[in-house]
Amino acid sequence: MTTVIKAASTLAAPADEKAAAVLLAGQAARECLAEARLSPDAVGVLINVGVYREHNTFEPAVGALVQKEAGINLDYLAHPVPGAAFSFDLMNGACGVLNAVQVAQAMFSTGSAERVLITAADVHPGGRAALDDGYPYADLGAALLLERSATSEGGFGPVRTAGSGSPSETAGYLPNAGYLPTAGMGAGGRTRITVRRDPGFAGQLLDLAADTTSGYARTEGLDLHRTLLVSSRPTADFAQRLADRLGLPQSRVLAPDSPGGGGGLPHTAAPILGYLRAVDQGLPEDVDQILFVAVGAGPSAACVSYRPQDR
């Protein structure tokens, strides 16, 4: 048994319209299921990993709202198979998609699910990321449909996570954080967010990504020169710097920009967007597998290999 990608989709918010996280995630989910030629009722579990939402909404669980928007098993009496769909939020910033892959693997190993749909959407609290120069992320949604495969060929390897034991973290200070300063938010607080990034944080993420990638390759016996790294993109030049650190050609590290070349960097949707870019451009003949690596707030990292079944 192995975990494979059945379909994936990504969706950028129109530049001239206010974005909504639930709508973006729900539409990406519908497009993903349409690509897989599956009805929404074929999904047993939905995991939503998006962090930023319009109006700073945190309750109820956004995963349940995305499930409704995507039309997934809304009447489990009328559609008892695969049973009442289960949806929940899993929030770990840029690492969220890979953490959700790990959860899906556990569900597949116990036979408690046949398909898991992961959704990721980040939206500026005011609904228009392009209007806030201080906000680093794009209004972007994505979906990834995972399936349990009976074959042992290809699919995901084990997910491994890592964190930094830096003094700042030990002291309870996070060098990268998004928060709402409630004391001074005023009447417009629901549409604002403060994102703080310390100058040295990009270097910490680069160190952590390089160490986590190298460690994963050693542990799993991967040849990085025969691997395409699909990385998150915490800074615009992250792919180039990571390739240089690992001694790899620039073409071996893919850190996607936002669809359409719009402002802002992809956040939780980055691994899905990177996977789609890799598929669209085609893997080189001398590449055997993809290695996803994501780094973000904490600092924390997650890494997992993926071998397409035709390799």
Nearest alpha carbon to residue 46 among 119, 106, 95: 119
pLDDT at 191 over 90: no
Domain boundary among 127, 152, 177: 152
- List, in order, residues 6 or more apart from 158 with CB less than 8 Å away: 105, 220, 304
Task: Say if residue 99 is in the same domain as residue 238.
Answer: no
Q: Is the pLDDT of residue 158 over 80?
A: yes
Q: What pTM value is reported for the model?
A: 0.89
**Can you give the CATH number for the domain in which 239 is found?**
3.40.47.10
How many C-beta neighbours within 10 Å does residue 110 have?
7
Domain range for residue 164? 160-307
From 128, 152, 176, the end of a domain falls on 152
What is the distance between the terminal CA atoms of the chain, rounded to a whole angstrom?
Answer: 17
Mean pLDDT score, 164-174: 49
Identify residue 239 by its one-letter amino acid code.
A
Q: How many domains does the chain fold into?
A: 2
Mean of pLDDT values over 117-145: 87
Q: How confident is residue 173, by pLDDT bands cut at 50, 70 and 90?
A: very low
CA distances from residue 275 to 39, 86, 230 in whole angstroms, order as listed: 23, 25, 7
Say if residue 232 is in the same domain as residue 111. no
Question: 191 and 282: one domain?
Answer: yes
Q: Is residue 198 located within the same domain as residue 78?
A: no
Q: What is the mean pLDDT of residues 237-242?
A: 94
Residues 165-185, mean pLDDT to the nearest whole number: 57
Task: Say whether both 217 and 255 belong to one domain.
Answer: yes
Residue 150: per-residue pLDDT: 78
| Range among 83-92, 176-185, 281-290 rated most confident | 281-290
User: How confident is residue 168, by pLDDT bands cut at 50, 70 and 90?
Assistant: very low
Pairwise CA distance, residues 23 & 273, whole Å: 18
Please check whether residues 284 and 261 belong to one and the same domain.
Answer: yes
List pLDDT tens digits, range 10-46.
998 887 788 889 999 999 999 999 999 999 988 989 9
* Residue 114 sits in the same domain as residue 174: no
Judge if 59 and 8 occupy the same domain. yes
| Choice among 62-76, 223-237, 259-273 with the minimum mean pLDDT | 259-273
**Averaged over 158-179, what is the pLDDT?**
65
Cα–Cα separations (whole angstroms), residue 80 to 41, 72, 76: 9, 12, 5
